Amino acid sequence: MTPPLLVLGVSRSGTTLLRVVLDRSPGIAIPDESFFVPLLARRHRGGIDPARFLDDLARIPVLAEWDVPLEDVGHRIHPGMSVGDAIAAIYESYAAKESKPRWGDKTPMYMRHLPFLERLFPDAQYVHLIRDGRDAAVSFLRMPAGTYTRTWAHPEAPAAFACLWRTEVSAARELGARVGSERYFEVRYEDLVASPDATVSAICSFAGIPFVLEMLEYPGQVDISDKPHQQRLQHPPTAGVRNWREELGPDEALAFEAVAGDLLAELGYPLLSTTRRRRDLRARVTLGSYRARLAAWNGAVSAVQRSPLWRRRHPTLRSAGVPRDDERPSRTGSGAGASRPR
């Protein structure tokens, strides 16, 4: 299998639109949000025990929703392989089910876990979709309850969302500086919706996957019946769906800029304030408080996920499909069970 393509972006930055479009390429399969990568990385440190790994997979609802055949995953993993290769085997099974040669992922939550992604998938390519943080804030703060997981740092106001946007966009751009232009490609949401053909074609060229015009013919082809926050997928890419100048009050916009105005300006987004100022004390306290609460949340979640409590809370949903030793491919062979070269 070729290296994975990981779509990065802050929540409400258009990553779902981009995932849907890229998934329609014959060259890649990108399922809906996964959520399980940090969980499995925390629970399976060191070499993989296939039976224990597959037992965990049988408890993860999203894998049942993807209809990933656990028997096939079982044939792709072997004792002692790295957790990154074992997680990749899940996606490889999904891609094989979809008759695609390559896999990708789009889960905005992983913007908080970029070091995990770097360590687990050292050959991955990244497409980072950036949207004006103020437009993303308007969209995020209007999401219906029940469509997101509330952390201890969940934003309730534009300034709070600015903390999330600044932290995550900066972290992804720092990742891009580390891995270089052959593995990191930055795209603006505003370009995606204004010139979808050219923008998607450029992404496909970077990733080395086929671009076909049918990729943009998704309206009416996507099941969004249980996703009230994704109704825009019924329509083609449209510029100006959100306009922070009309939907944020001046005080709200200035509060956002107090936290993240320098990054907005660096990215070329116009500021409401005509004066470029360093973040004031209130903005620095707001940002520090956000990062402290998020770190505490991540620590608590990590502790629960590594403990026996996780299995008690997540009953088995289907058979784990553990293959017998004589059914498992050779560790050094070229079959599906072989570890991908690093």
Domains of the chain with CATH codes: 5-222+242-325 (3.40.50.300)
Q: What is the C-alpha to C-alpha distance for residues 206 and 27, in angstroms, rounded to an integer? A: 13
Q: Whose CA is closest to 215, among 7, 21, 16, 18? A: 21
pLDDT at 222: 72
* pLDDT, tens only, 4-24: 999 999 999 999 999 999 999
Q: What is the C-alpha to C-alpha distance for residues 269 and 262, in angstroms, rounded to an integer? A: 10
Which amino acid type is present at position 286? T
Average pLDDT over residues 48-66: 96
Look at residue 87 and tell me whether its pLDDT is greater than 90.
yes
Look at residue 105 and tell me whether its pLDDT is greater than 70.
yes
pLDDT at 237: 76
Q: What is the C-alpha to C-alpha distance for residues 167 and 112, in angstroms, rounded to an integer? A: 9
Look at residue 342 and tell me whether its pLDDT is greater than 50.
no
* pLDDT, tens only, 171-208: 999 999 999 999 999 999 999 999 999 999 999 999 99
Q: Do 37 and 299 form a contact (C-beta atoms < 8 A)? A: no
Q: What is the C-alpha to C-alpha distance for residues 222 and 220, in angstroms, rounded to an integer? A: 6
Q: How confident is the model at residue 46 (pLDDT cuts 50, 70, 90)?
A: confident
Look at residue 330 and tell me whether its pLDDT is greater than 50.
no
As a whole-number percent, the residues of the chain with pLDDT over 70 amount to: 87
pLDDT at 227: 63
Look at residue 111 and tell me whether its pLDDT is greater than 80.
yes
Q: Whose CA is closest to 129, among 205, 199, 227, 25? A: 199
Q: How confident is the model at residue 269 (pLDDT cuts 50, 70, 90)?
A: very high
Q: What is the C-alpha to C-alpha distance for residues 204 and 156, in angstroms, rounded to an integer? A: 36
Q: What SS3 class is residue 28?
A: coil
pLDDT at 144: 77
Q: What is the C-alpha to C-alpha distance for residues 58 and 322, in angstroms, rounded to an integer? A: 11
Average pLDDT over residues 109-123: 96
Give burial (CB, 10 Å; 0-12/13-18/19+) of 53: buried
As a whole-number percent, the residues of the chain with pLDDT over 90 amount to: 76
Which residues are registered as beta bridge partners of 187? Answer: 129
Q: Do 220 and 162 form a contact (C-beta atoms < 8 A)? A: no
For the record, the structure tokens of 32 come out as 């809906």
Strand locations in 140-213 (E): 184-188
C-alpha 191: how far from chain center? 20
Q: How confident is the model at residue 261 (pLDDT cuts 50, 70, 90)?
A: very high
Mean pLDDT, the chain, rounded, equals: 89
Q: Whose CA is closest to 120, among 90, 148, 94? A: 90
* pLDDT, tens only, 202-257: 999 999 999 999 999 987 777 665 665 566 666 677 776 778 999 999 999 999 99
Task: Give one DSSP letter per residue of 303-324, joined into a string.
Answer: HHHHSTHHHHHS---S---PPP
Q: Whose CA is closest to 33, among 8, 50, 54? A: 8
Give burial (CB, 10 Å; 0-12/13-18/19+) of 224: middle
Average pLDDT over residues 67-76: 95
Provide the 10 A C-beta neighbour count for residue 297.
17
Q: How confident is the model at residue 147 (pLDDT cuts 50, 70, 90)?
A: low
